[in-house]
Structure formats: C-alpha cells, structure tokens
C-alpha cells in the first residue's frame, strides 16, 4: 500500500501449523510519530509481539509441547500513527479475499498490544463493554467482553492491580471490530494522568513506593522526543507480556474457540 509518495508496509508471520480458517491475530504497530523515536509507543508492543512469536517458535520445536489447533498470525502494522492505515488496509484486503486463510471469515480474534511499558504505568485492559455499538457488529461484543475478563482475572490471580481502559477506536483493533471480529488487548497508558486512587491502589498491591506518581501522566514522553529507551518501566512491562502470553495460550487451547468467542445467542 502507499501513502502519498512513500510505501507503507505490514509484516505478518504465521505459525506453520494450525487451522488457517481459524486464526488468532496478534498485532502491534511498528511505526512512531515523527516527533520521537517511539520506544514505548510502540516499540514496547512491537518487541513484545516479537518475543511472543520467538518464544512460541521455540516451544513448537519441543516434542512435549502440543501444537495449537489454531493458526497464530503475528502482524506488525505500518502507519498506525497516520490513521491506522496498515491495519485498515489489511482488514480491507481480507474482506475482499477469496483465498482460504486470508479471508476476514478466517479470523477469530485480534489481540492488540499498543504501549505496554509506560513509566507511570497502569495495567490497562481494553474494556469490551465500551465497544462502540454504532461501528461494531453485535457478534464481536460478547467475545470482546469475555477476553477482557480473561485478562482481568489473570491480574487478580497474580495479586496485581488492573484498570479497564475504553475501546476508543484509536489503535489497530478498530478495523477488526468494525469488521465484526472480536478484539482485546492491553495498554499501559499515554497522556491521561494517574489518579491518586490508582497510585494508592497500585502502591498497596505492588509494594510501598511502587505505585507510581499521582497527578502525572502515565507516559510523560508520549509522542515526544524523550520516548527513548529510558522511557520504559521494565517491571510493569514484564507483567504485561506475561499477561499477553497467558491469554494467547488460553485461547489457543480452547476446544472450540469460535463458539467460545461467538456464542450462538450473540447472532
């Protein structure tokens, strides 16, 4: 695809096994704004997806690790910061494709990881209940809610704080939701301020002095030149990647993921 005078590219990599007509799409955008290097936004999400893909490839080489019944497709979207161009193009191509494995009907869910290591982070989970009913097919809503709860329950079991963050259509999950595909994901925060309540709650669960700073944005370097390698909270990042790995494994081990995500009552 092209945007003006320069090309915009997506990169996708698939597991070599698994049903291509039942695909779990794991996506992160690979671009940044021109104002900064974009190490948190979205080097953190891109690197997490790469680490998850490499880890899964290594696990698949182990004879005692059962292969998934579903194909996992890892995608790095181009030009998210210019208006979700890469993911929107991919979804549009899938909607028009008749190639088995490349059709929109072959996609079960999109897991979106966009900003996972904000310095004044929250453990943010996209809230399926805030999906825009005017732009989202009803079929995508129940599954989005279920996966939101799946992430939430993982943080609770780990005795970690968590917050729901709204689906506001500002990241690469939006084209999938519009196409009726279940979506979910994690978000560590951008220019919203951490509240005193959040700071106290995180401090209680993470340990004294670990709750961050109240009345300061979750990422003070959001879309700025200081979004460098120093703009990463490693401790928070680690937990977000672990949560992502858990949900991928949980979904991929379902006997009938399609019915789990799209219960008949939703139709």
Domain boundaries defined on the chain: 11-258
Q: What is the mean pLDDT of residues 25-44?
A: 97
3-state DSSP call for residue 227? coil
pLDDT of residue 216: 98
Q: Which CATH number fits domain 11-258: 2.40.128.720, 3.40.630.10, 3.40.50.300, 3.30.930.10?
A: 3.40.630.10
Is 197 a residue of the active site?
Answer: no
Which pTM value belongs to this model? Answer: 0.96
Q: Which residues of 8-42 are buried (b: 16+ CB within 10 A; e: fewer)?
A: bebeeebbeebebebbbbbbbbbbbbeebbbbbbb
228 and 37 in contact (C-beta within 8 Å)? yes
| Residue 231 reports pLDDT greater than 50 | yes
Catalytic pick among 80, 197, 238, 249: 80
Tokens of 216: 């300061």
pLDDT of residue 8: 73
């Amino acid at each position: 695809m092209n945007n003006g005078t320069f090309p915009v590219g997506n990169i996708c990599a698939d597991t070599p096994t698994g049903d291509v007509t039942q695909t779990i799409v794991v996506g992160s955008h690979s671009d940044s704004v021109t104002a900064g290097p974009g190490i948190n936004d979205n080097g953190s999400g891109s690197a997490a997806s790469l680490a998850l893909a490499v880890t899964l490839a290594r696990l698949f080489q182990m004879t005692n690790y059962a292969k998934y019944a579903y194909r996992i497709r890892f995608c790095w979207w181009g030009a998210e910061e210019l208006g979700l161009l890469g993911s929107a193009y991919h979804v549009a191509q899938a909607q028009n494709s008749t190639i088995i494995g490349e059709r929109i009907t072959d996609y079960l869910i999109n897991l979106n990881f966009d900003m996972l290591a904000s310095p004044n982070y929250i453990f943010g989970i996209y809230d399926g209940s805030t999906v825009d009913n005017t732009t989202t097919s009803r079929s995508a809503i129940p599954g989005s809610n279920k996966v939101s709860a799946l992430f939430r329950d993982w943080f609770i079991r780990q005795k970690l704080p968590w917050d729901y963050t709204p689906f506001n259509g500002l990241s690469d999950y939006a084209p999938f939701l519009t196409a009726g595909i279940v979506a979910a994901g994690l978000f560590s925060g951008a220019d919203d301020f951490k509240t005193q309540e959040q700071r106290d709650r995180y401090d209680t669960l993470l340990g004294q002095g670990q709750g961050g700073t109240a009345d300061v944005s979750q990422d003070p370097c959001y879309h700025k030149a200081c979004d460098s390698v120093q703009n990463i909270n490693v401790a928070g990042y680690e937990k977000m990647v672990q949560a992502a790995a858990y949900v991928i494994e949980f979904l991929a081990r379902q006997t009938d993921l399609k019915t789990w995500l799209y219960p008949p009552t939703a139709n």
